[in-house]
A and B are shown apart, each in its own frame.
Chain A
Amino acid sequence: MGTIATLEVLEPGPLTTVQDMGRYGFGRYGVPPSGALDAYALRTANLLVGNSEGEAVLEITLMGLKVRALTGCVVAAGGGDLRPVINEGAVETWRSYVMHRDDILHFKAPKTGCRAYLAVGGGIVSQPVLGSKSTNLSSGFGGHEGRPLRKGDVLFSDSPEDFLNRGGRTLPLEWIPVYRKDWALKVLFGPQDCDFPEESKDVLLASPFGVSPHSDRTGIRLSGLPILRKQGTGESIISEGVVPGTIQIPGDAQPIIILSETITGGYRKIATVISADLPLLGQIKPGDQIRFRQVTLVDALKALEEMEGRVRMLRERLSGISP
């Protein structure tokens, strides 16, 4: 009963952090949202183990996390398939499993996507800082001691034994996102698209962009044909707010898709990825290719409502079959 040590970190991998739905309302102090880059995976993984959908989870980047169960608990990984195994037996992403004491869960290598989200029944206990359990990496607060996980860290959950009957639950196949290496992202132009000639907007929509290895939780850096500004416009603009999904064009004319670790920017914003496609941004990895497609605001909102509808149906379905 109560708060119990559930997992011991045997190997942290290159970057594993505690994240929830993010930190909002402190942008005036320069505080970025942080939070799970793939919020769809976070929410569904939480629902599979019986948590409320916004609980804190572990965001695992590419591979490497190895944890040992310190007590019986139920876990589910959503998002990228990082070849998880329990005691060397392959397990599925988007399915909940009961782990017994001393079982070892290991994410071996990226098969599809970039980040997996590991939910534990009873959550990952962490003191909210500025309203969120997400890790802010730049300033070192929130999550697990404000830093990525390290070998030897012990994670706690609230009454994990209450969740043990939630093993073996899966996400319906048709709701499992398909992660490719060539991505099509839907965008809306603005707010500074008028600073770019029509040809540049055509380039953004018509040509593929490669994902640079210098991408992280702050932004996805792309390389491709240059997105040139109108003549007479300066390289930078007066700094102002940005949101995840904002496509900035810096001086070198190569786009950057802003992610969750910054709240302001000083470059022109030609377009913004729609909310329904934001979870995909968390699954794009260096070497992948991206194409952009323009949609209308109506289409964007419709896509978001569809995604929300899937999460709602999953919530209802799962609450119907478990005590």
Chain B
Amino acid sequence: MGDRAILVELGDEINPSVNAKVRELFLKLDRESIEGVKELVPGYRSVMVVYDPLVVVPASLQETVTRLHREAKGSSLPEPKTLEVPVVYGGRFGPDLPWVASFHGIPPEEVVRYHTQPLYHVYMIGFTPGFPYLGEVPKAIETPRRETPRTAVPRGSVAIAQKQTGIYPVQSPGGWHILGWTPLKLFDATKWPPTPIEIGDCVRFLSIQEEEIGNWEP
């Protein structure tokens, strides 16, 4: 990628084993703290290594990364944390729940039941600070993106698109279908770490009533 980033591609699909390879390499590179490397961005299927070309020669960095990739293979990964995320589904909190339900020809409660079923894997964090890309959504509620993206999705919105589900940590534009809302804060720049979950962790959604929101607010 230009003269200051290397993109290491470890597969071409969304699945946990490709993502485990990403995590292996990412953690290895992070531990080694290579001189001249400014940033590591783990994705679903790739790791982006941003470097300062005035500090490290691109060709030699590429060699180092290749060597570390070899060494990282099969290394043990830390146990994932599981974060329970309370969600108020439907109504003003989840304006797209009725549409998604009718798209699949099932009642809204069924959509909620499906959405709260899996233990989701955190594939990556991106888009905006703290936005977790989670998968996979049960087949029965896989839904294409909205035809027209919203210019402002409220902070805390829980949404789905295709096999993915995610949580908007700040108000931002967005093209996913909003099923509900969580009072949990997914990003706080003044805390360390700034997000409660990282790549490789797990998330389970928990359906709560509007009256219960107060029990969860920080």
Contact = CB atoms under 8 A, between A and B. Distances in A.
Interface string B30-57: 0000000011111111111010011000
A138 B129 contact: yes
B91 interface: no
A27 B50 contact: yes
A291 to B, nearest CB: 18
A227 interface: no
Nearest to A189: B2
Given A28-B198, A30-B130, A139 B39 contact: no
A239 B43 contact: yes
Q: B interface, how many residues as a size bin?
A: 35 or more
A29 B193 contact: yes
A290 B49 CA distance: 28
Nearest to B194: A29
B172 interface: yes
A304 B57 CA distance: 13
A245 B1 CA distance: 10
B54 A264 contact: no
Interface string A141-181: 11000000000000000000000000000000000000000
Interface in A254-312: 262-264, 269, 271-275, 297, 300-301, 304-305, 308
A110 to B, nearest CB: 27
Nearest to A274: B3
A245 B200 CA distance: 29
A246 interface: yes
Interface residues of A, number: 45
A30 B128 contact: yes
A32 B41 CA distance: 10
A31 interface: yes
B26 A238 contact: no
B41 A240 contact: yes
Contacts of B9: 191
Contacts of B172: 138
24 contacts: A24-B39, A25-B38, A25-B39, A26-B129, A27-B40, A27-B50, A29-B195, A29-B198, A30-B125, A30-B126, A30-B127, A30-B131, A129-B189, A136-B189, A188-B3, A240-B46, A240-B124, A242-B48, A264-B41, A269-B1, A272-B2, A273-B2, A305-B54, A308-B54
Interface of A: 24-33, 129-130, 136, 138-142, 187-188, 190-191, 238-243, 245-246, 262-264, 269, 271-275, 297, 300-301, 304-305, 308
